[in-house]
Amino acid sequence: MDFTIPGEPATIAPMMRDTAIAAEQIGASWFSVMDHYFQMEQFRTAHDPMLEGYTALGFVAGVTSRMKLGTIVTGVTYRHPALLAKIATTLDVLSGGRAFLGIGAAWYEREHLALGVPFPPLAERFERLEEAVQIALQMWSDDDGPYEGTHYRLAETINRPAPIQAPHPRSSSAGRGAQDAAPGRAVRAGLQPHRLRRRGGRAQAPGAP
């Protein structure tokens, strides 16, 4: 499968914009991007394009007005959980309350080793996933006190501005059972295909960046 775009990288932004606008026009209710450092080798090579997920979603937020926006899914190892919660909150605020958070235990070892990101054993990654969800929920609550976990320790969990969505953005945790994730028709924008971890219809634009 070839998901490259002629003329990239200059043509990626226009394709992303046009795909997002078309998705919203046909009634898609949510729009997601891949969150990886490298392209996945099952489909292309690690040298093929892969955008940073949340920067891409911020771009899409600026050209759309209704669709929910998020990743399917962010590996728990990619960003410190408090930073991830802050990023998701920022996306929610700047999109007018349209962010959702998809998070999983991560699996792509090569990209971690290549960029020097720790890649602990699977059991530990699931423990970190559990704590990351707890941290996000605390940062989205009125409790801005400390968090004490096995792997993460935060002196404070201040998160201002708060999300627009109440009580917090919708979220799904891959591997621990998705809960309250974005339902309905969807468009996935990624530089390669990815199995969605939610039921429901989807519209996918061929070759979408």
**DSSP labels, 122-148:** HHHHHHHHHHHHHHHHHHTSS--S-EE
Cα 87 to Cα 141: distance, rounded to the nearest angstrom: 16
State the DSSP H helix or E strand holding residue 112, giving kind and residue range, or none if neither: helix 109-115
Alpha helices in the chain (DSSP H): 12-25, 53-61, 81-94, 109-115, 122-139
Q: Quick count: other Cβ atoms within 10 Å of Cβ 30? A: 25
pLDDT digits (tens, 9 = 90+) for 132-160: 999 999 999 999 999 999 999 999 999 99
133 contacts 173 by C-beta, under 8 angstroms: yes
Q: Which residues pair with residue 172 across a beta bridge?
A: 102
Cα 84 to Cα 89: distance, rounded to the nearest angstrom: 8
Report which of residues 181 and 87 the model is more confident about: 87
pTM of the model: 0.83
Residues in the chain, total: 209
Helix axes of 53-61 and 12-25: crossing angle, nearest 10 degrees: 60
Instruction: Identify the structural domains of the chain with CATH numbers, from first to last.
Output: 12-189 (3.20.20.30)
Residue 191 one-letter amino acid: L
Residue 194 reports pLDDT greater than 70:
no
pLDDT digits (tens, 9 = 90+) for 34-47: 999 999 888 888 99
pLDDT in the model for residue 196 = 27
CA distances, 18 to each of 6, 22, 83 (Å)? 15, 6, 30
Tokens read off for 34 = 């891949």
Q: Which residues pair with residue 203 across a beta bridge?
A: 187
